[in-house]
Amino acid sequence: MTKVTEIVHFFEQKISSILTIDGFPPETKKDRFVKEGGFFVRVADGDGNAQTIKMSDTEMTSLVQDIKLALKNHRQRKLELFAEIDERQRTTRTKE
């Protein structure tokens, strides 16, 4: 198993949450068929309470695509908000 990432959040100098993703690669089974790889996604709180979900490569691919789309939408909205602020500032300057 390989650690893909670990994200640790702190609150008031203590760990408040941890996201860990570990991957396991595809492998050949005894009958020479390929067994799909996957990932373990684990979320824990600062007290050690945790939930883990096992995801296949296919499920992770779908999740990554969904996250990419959401990020694209967030970036677009952020640019729109900056444009709105810029336009308000220009309008305010021309009125002065």
pLDDT tens digit string along 11-27?
A: 888 889 999 999 999 99
- The overall average pLDDT reported for the chain is 92
Report pLDDT for 92. Answer: 78
Band (pLDDT 50/70/90 cuts) for residue 96 is low
DSSP per residue over 20-76, as a string? EEEEE--EE-TTSPEEP-EEEEEEEETTS-EEEEEEEHHHHHHHHHHHHHHHHHHHH
Domain ranges, residue 25: 2-95
Q: What is the pTM of this model?
A: 0.75
Q: In the structure encoding, which two tokens stand for residue 54, read together?
A: 């096992």
Say if residue 89's pLDDT is above 90: no
The total number of structural domains that make up the chain: 1
pLDDT digits (tens, 9 = 90+) for 23-65: 999 999 888 899 899 999 999 998 889 999 999 999 999 999 9
